Amino acid sequence: MTAYTTREIALDSVTLHVAEQGVGPLVLLVHGWPECHRSWRHQIAALAEAGYRAVAPDLRGFGGSSCPAEIEAYTQLNLVGDMVALVSALGESRAVIIGHDWGAPVAWNAALLRPDIFHAVAGLSVPYAPRNRGPITQVFRELGMAKFYMMYFQEGRPGRARIRGRCRGRRCGASCGRPQAS
C-alpha cells in the first residue's frame, strides 16, 4: 500500500494541513501537544489497510496549518468547528473521531456537540472529564495533585521553566517575536 499524502484544505477561518490515506468510512485522527499529523503515521497506514479513509489534520496553530494570532481563536468550539468543516470539505457527512492527549478533548467535544456527524469517538491517554468546577490549578490542589506536571508551568513557580512559543519552520507562536509567513 502507498504511503499517505498531504495537502492543504481551506476552511472558513483557517487552512488545515492534512495527511490522508485509504478509501472507506472516514476516521479523523486528532493529535496532541506538541505534535502534528505525523504522530499518527503508523495508525494512518493501518487504518487505510483495514478499509478506512484515515485523515490526520494538523490542528490550527500546529505544523503546516494556519496560525491565527488571537488567543480567542483556539477555543474548543473553534477546534470542534474545524473538525466539522473538515468532514464537510472532505465530501463526507459522518466520521469516527479519535483524539490523543490534547486532541482527546477535541474528539469528545466534537462527539458531544455534533453527534449527527461524529457517530463514534475514542480518547487516548487522557481520561474524559466534564467541565471543571473552577480553575484547573485549583482543582489539582484540591485533589492533592499539587505536583502534577502542569503545575510546574504556572506563574510564580521559582526555578521552573515556563512554556514559551517555539518556532518550528514557517509556523510559530506569536510570543516568540519572529515574523510569521503569510
Secondary structure string (H, E, C) spanning 122-161: EEECCCCCCCCCCCHHHHHHHCCCCCCHHHHHCCCCCCCC
Relative to beta strand 118-124, strand 15-21 is: unpaired
As a whole number, mean pLDDT of residues 21-44 equals: 96
Confidence of residue 170 (pLDDT cuts 50, 70, 90): very low
- Calculate what percentage of the chain has a pLDDT beyond 90: 65
**Lowest-confidence segment of 1-10, 116-125, 161-170 by average pLDDT:** 161-170
Q: Which residues does 51 contact at the CB level (< 8 Å), separation at least 6?
A: 22, 23, 24, 25
Residue 113, pLDDT above cutoff 90:
yes
7-37 burial string, b = 16+ CB within 10 Å, else e?
eebebeebebbbbbbbeebbbbbbbbeebbb
Residue 95 C-beta-side C-alpha neighbours within 13 Å: 29
What pLDDT does residue 152 have?
Answer: 58
Question: Which one is predicted more confidently, 33 or 168?
Answer: 33
pTM of the predicted model, to two decimals? 0.74
What pLDDT does residue 158 have?
Answer: 45
Handedness of CA 171, 177, 178, 181 (dihedral sign): positive
CA–CA gap between residue 48 and residue 155 (Å, rounded): 44
